[in-house]
Amino acid sequence: MLEMKTIKKKFYIADFEEEQEFLSSLHNAGWRLTDIKGKRYSFEKCDKEAVIYQIDFNPKEQRKSEYVQLFIDFGWKFITEKDDRFYFSKPGLQCSEDQIFSDHETKMVMCRKIIKRKLAQLITLSVISIIISCVLAFNMFHYSLFPLGIIFIVSLIWLGALILTLYSTKYLTGFFKLKKIMDKSVN
Amino acid sequence: MPMTETSFYILFALQDEMHGYNIMNYVKILTKDEVALGAGTVYTSLSKMEKDGLIVLVKKESNRKFYKITDLGREILETEILRIERLYKNTRAYEGRE
């Protein structure tokens, strides 16, 4: 029976280069990626090989089979798809086309898609936190818990601001990382 | 706006009907292995060029999409070839004077 293992790890979309490295290094150590469910990466014991892993972020893909077929034609093995991220691998020996993006412009197109997604997430989170604050504040006043309510609201606002700042920091770091990738020439 | 090298070669290749992998091979042979297009690059470029009306989907065979250049694409390609020729001619002529 094949030996299996799972590793729990969280990668944000902007960290796709780190994620690729992580998967390659595991394959180098004899663990082949088989599936990803949420934060759980499943691996299967295999020979220690140099294998390149590449992630393509491709939201709103209507015709997945045609999209995947093109990559298969180019010698890529399709592993799995998670949150619009498509995972491909290829033995490292075929050195000529070892990256899915051979020019800067098309890699930038993918980075822009990621930025758009991150921005959408940030806006959604902001709207949700504002709505929650409003509802809570309204309830506090409605039940005339005025003095206690004020303290509660202040602490809630503080908490909300904290969460938002933390999220923005994460968002900004991701953004700067993407900008760095976009500035860096592919070749 | 000048075209990227990738778009230029893809458009040039699509003067004949081809699918993604054909294009990569064609360009590889044309450039004597100097330009090796990546799968993601080809896919992204084809989607964008189809949206811009430079190429058109001709047929689908066993999950592969075959594209061909449109009249607009041909016009753009011709303009680009003339631009590159002019660049080449002018710089070579300048080199000759030195």
Same domain for A86 and A16?
yes
Nearest CB neighbour to B38, from listed A65, A97, A109: A97
As for how many domains chain A has, the answer is 2
Partner A contacted by B42 (CB < 8 A): yes
Same domain for A86 and A13?
yes
CB B23 within 8 A of CB B55: no
Last residue of a domain, one of A50, A65, A91: A91
The answer on pLDDT for B13 being more than 50 is: yes
Average pLDDT over residues B28-46: 94
Kindly determine whether residue B6 and residue A69, on different chains, have CB atoms separated by under 8 Å: no
187 residues of chain A, pLDDT tens digit each: 678 999 999 888 888 999 999 999 999 999 999 999 989 999 999 998 899 999 999 987 778 899 999 999 999 999 999 989 999 999 886 554 478 998 888 999 999 999 898 888 888 877 877 777 777 777 666 666 556 666 677 777 777 777 777 777 777 788 888 888 888 754 4
Kindly determine whether residue B64 and residue A76, on different chains, have CB atoms separated by under 8 Å: no
Give φ, ψ of A184 to 5 degrees: -75, 135
Same domain for A71 and A147?
no
* Token duo for residue A69: 């077929």
Same domain for A16 and A87?
yes
The Cα-based distances of B9 to A73, B13, B35 in angstroms read 19, 6, 9
Element holding B34 (H helix, E strand): none
Give φ, ψ of A99 to 5 degrees: -125, 145
Q: What is the ipTM of this complex?
A: 0.89
> What's the domain range around A19?
4-91
- What A19-26 contacts at long range (C-beta under 8 Å, 24+ apart), as own/partner pairs, is A19/A53, A19/A55, A20/A52, A20/A53, A20/A54, A20/A55, A23/A53, A23/A87, A23/A89, A24/A50, A24/A51, A24/A52, A24/A53
pTM (global) more than 0.90? no
Same domain for A57 and A83?
yes
The Cα-based distances of A112 to A19, A106, A174, A178, A182 in angstroms read 18, 10, 12, 8, 9
CB A61 within 8 A of CB A110: no
Length of chain B: 98
Which neighbouring-strand residues pair with B18? B67
Nearest CB neighbour to A100, from listed B38, B48, B62: B38
> Which residue in chain B is spatially nearest to A98 when comparing CA positions?
B38
Last residue of a domain, one of A58, A91, A124: A91
> What's the domain range around B80?
5-97
Last residue of a domain, one of A91, A126, A151: A91
As for how many domains chain B has, the answer is 1
If pLDDT is split at 50, 70 and 90, which confidence band does B43 have? very high
Using a CB-CB cut-off of 8 Å, the residues of chain A touching B19 are: 70, 73
User: Which of A52, A56, A106, A181 is the mutation pick for testing B, counting most B CBs within 10 A?
Assistant: A106
* Token duo for residue A164: 């938002």
CATH for B9: 1.10.10.10
Q: How far apart are CA B21 and CA A103, in angstroms?
A: 16
If pLDDT is split at 50, 70 and 90, which confidence band does B77 have? very high
Partner A contacted by B73 (CB < 8 A): no
Nearest CB neighbour to A70, from listed B35, B42, B48: B42
- pLDDT score at A147: 62
Where are the extended beta strands (E) located within chain B? 18-19, 55-61, 64-69
- pLDDT score at A177: 85
Eight-class DSSP state of B10: H
Q: Which of A68, A63, A93 is nearest to A80 (CA)?
A: A68
- pLDDT score at A187: 45
- pLDDT score at A130: 76
Q: Look at B18 and A145; give whichever has higher pLDDT.
A: B18
Position A98 in a domain: no
If pLDDT is split at 50, 70 and 90, which confidence band does B98 have? low
Same domain for A140 and A86?
no
Nearest CB neighbour to B38, from listed A67, A73, A101: A101
- pLDDT score at B1: 62
Using a CB-CB cut-off of 8 Å, the residues of chain A touching B33 are: 96
Partner A contacted by B39 (CB < 8 A): yes
